[in-house]
Amino acid sequence: MKYVVIYGDGPRKEVMIKIAKLMHKKPVLVMIGRSGLKVDETLSFEEVYDSKKATINLDKCNGCEECLKACQKGAISKDLKINWNLCEGCPACYYSCPMDAIDFRVVKSGEIRVYVSEGIPVVEYDYAPWINRYVFVRHVRDIAKRLANDENTWIIEEGWHPMPWAFNIRIDGYNDPNANLVLGKNDQVLSFNEIEKVVETLEVIGQ
Ligand code: SF4
Ligand code: SF4
């Protein structure tokens, strides 16, 4: 069975969902950030933990603000709250603290849900702003490969990588690095007609 993987977490995800719906009769796997799609059946749910972040134990803290001065990332505020979006888990605050009040914890940095929505298998992911999203997305892609279980799986990808500012849809084959088709770029919005052309092209390529 040949799957088509639709992957996208950028500003055009609605377009990606439309493509998925147009391709409803094909075996389609949609991969998308928070989609808002109706979940008919959850197939799996995975929480991703990997980033170490500093925390302050206020019961031990004497308010000396040494940590605040030590932090090069501006992650600690005057009221001694740590902004995990800025904290990189380095040990500077830890070593500066005279009260042994700082600790590190591995925090939840994302989740990946696989579900069925109106007959379409969907891999939906959500990740915290501090996570290395390239590593996270690789993990999501691995799930897609496993689900598709076919080396010739085609991917329709909203191409933020390596150019996050540009919009394009790339069609790519895991086994064939030359088999891609770029359909739009520079923030161009595809019309429905254009989307239908994409689908027709896929039907030709996918045979
Ligand atoms: S771990 Fe590093 S980046 Fe995070 S709050 Fe402490 S000093 Fe700042
Ligand atoms: S260095 Fe330690 S004791 Fe001082 S404010 Fe920071 S957490 Fe509190």
For the segment 106-162, what is each residue's pLDDT rounded down to a tens digit? 988 889 998 888 877 788 888 888 887 777 777 777 777 777 665 555 556 554 443
Q: Where are the domains of the chain?
A: 4-37+118-205, 50-108
Which numbered atom of ligand 1 lies nearest the CA of 86? 3
Average pLDDT in the chain: 73
Domain 50-108 in CATH 3.10.310.10? The answer is no
Give 183 Cα–ligand 1 centroid separation in angstroms.
Answer: 43
Beta 169-173 vs 176-182: how paired, if at all? antiparallel
Residues enclosing ligand 2, CB less than 6 A?
A: 56, 61-67, 80, 96-97, 99, 101-102
Closest by Cα among 129, 122, 135 to 45: 122
Ligand 2 atom having least distance to the Cα of 99: 3
Q: Which pLDDT tens digit goes with each residue over 160-196?
A: 443 333 334 444 333 333 333 344 443 344 555 666 6
